[in-house]
Amino acid sequence: MNMVKPSQDRLQKWDSKFDLEVMKPTFEKLKPLWRANARDRFQVMVAYEIAVKTLLNRVGVSVALLPSYLCFAREILKARRRYSGNTYSYEAYAKVQKWVARKLDENVLRTISRQVFDVDPQPMP
């Protein structure tokens, strides 16, 4: 007795689940909601990026490093949406260490975390 389904059987079942004619009306109904959600997230992201750029200009960070600091900021923003409390602080710490290893200034990363994202990056006890 064969306990493993052949790949062709799995593919046929997958094809039957993803019939575009069936899915299209549902997606069309949900698209405005998804678009509104994306719009809201993009607005929040832009506001945080402006705050980070303003801080970086104030402390004199080289323009060549701005993309890297903005990537760090996006990672902290993502952590902010997912976590809270100590877990958020631990995640922020992990992100700071990651970007320090990539040669960004730890003090600047911590300043971004504290002043823009209101988190004090701390290692796990």
Q: For 40-99, what is each residue's pLDDT tens digit?
A: 999 999 999 999 999 999 999 999 999 999 999 999 999 999 999 999 999 999 999 999
Q: Is residue 6 scored above 90 in pLDDT?
A: no
| DSSP reduced 3-state for 2 | coil
In a domain, 19, yes or no: no
Q: Residue 56 sits in which domain range? A: 25-116
Smallest CA-to-CA distance from 53 within 118, 108, 119 is with 108
In a domain, 45, yes or no: yes
In a domain, 86, yes or no: yes
In a domain, 54, yes or no: yes
Domain count of the fold of the chain: 1
What radius of gyration, in Å, describes the C-alpha atoms of the chain? 22
User: How far is the C-alpha of 112 from the C-alpha of 69, rounded, in Å?
Assistant: 9
In a domain, 17, yes or no: no
Instruction: Specify the pTM.
Output: 0.80
Our CA dihedral for 115, 94, 61, 56, rounded to 10 degrees, sits at -20
